[in-house]
Amino acid sequence: MSRILAESGNADGSFRSNPPQGTCLYGITIPPTGGDTLFVNQYLALEKMPPELRKRIDGKRAVHSAKNAYAPTGFYGTGDKGRSMDIRPSDDAQATQTHPIIHKHPETGRECLFGTAGYIIGIEGMDQAAGWDLVSEIYRWQTRPEFQYRHKWQKDMLLMWDNRCTLHMATGGYAGHDRLLHRTTIGAA
């Protein structure tokens, strides 16, 4: 995950038809300061959501796509050079996929918000401007500090999280230091 998109928060692979269940990160080189990962509880974000906002998203589906990130014309496309991560731009990234904004977690059966602005590029059945306004409003709500947990890394620490009910966000603050983590994505069943 490239840093700028990662810092805006995301659910990994939400643009896929069958998004990953979870993600693992293993800390190899941890900088002395910065580089925390924020997790945002999407059960809580939905539970505490003002009824007026919830009413406007109930039953709606978000349009997800990787095109703003990984398509050749996207932010990390062919014009983007010099990143340490090997990101391969692809026309496949132009594809879109819809998912309910409020989904039921397949294991817990509890409802929560799924995905966020970044991979979400609009709302099905709404024009682009109105849809984006709503996506932005959801983003501002679902990433509020009271729903967040800040994870501080140590070397050899393995973290696993459920991609279906959380968002995660990278933070910077370690300029001049190396930071290396290995990621494994847990595929959908």
Nearest approach in angstroms of CB 58 to Fe ion is 27
Nearer to Fe ion, 55 or 182 (CB): 182
Contact by Cβ (8 Å): 183, 24: yes
Nearest approach in angstroms of CB 56 to Fe ion is 27
Q: Residue 61 — φ and ψ, nearest 5°?
A: -115, 140
Nearer to Fe ion, 86 or 127 (CB): 86
Half-sphere exposure of 5 (CA within 13 A, CB side): 23
**Rounded CA gap, 5 and 2, in Å?**
6
Nearest approach in angstroms of CB 167 to Fe ion is 9
Nearer to Fe ion, 39 or 141 (CB): 39
Nearer to Fe ion, 125 or 187 (CB): 187
User: Which of the 8 DSSP states describes residue 164?
Assistant: T
Nearer to Fe ion, 53 or 159 (CB): 159
Q: Which residue is nearest to Fe ion (CB)?
A: 1
Nearest approach in angstroms of CB 122 to Fe ion is 20
- Enumerate binding residues for Fe ion (CB under 5 A): 1, 10, 12
**Rounded CA gap, 12 and 22, in Å?**
8
Nearest approach in angstroms of CB 147 to Fe ion is 17
Over its C-alpha atoms, the chain yields an Rg (Å, rounded) of: 17
Distances (CA, A) of 3 to 79, 83, 107, 162: 16, 10, 30, 20
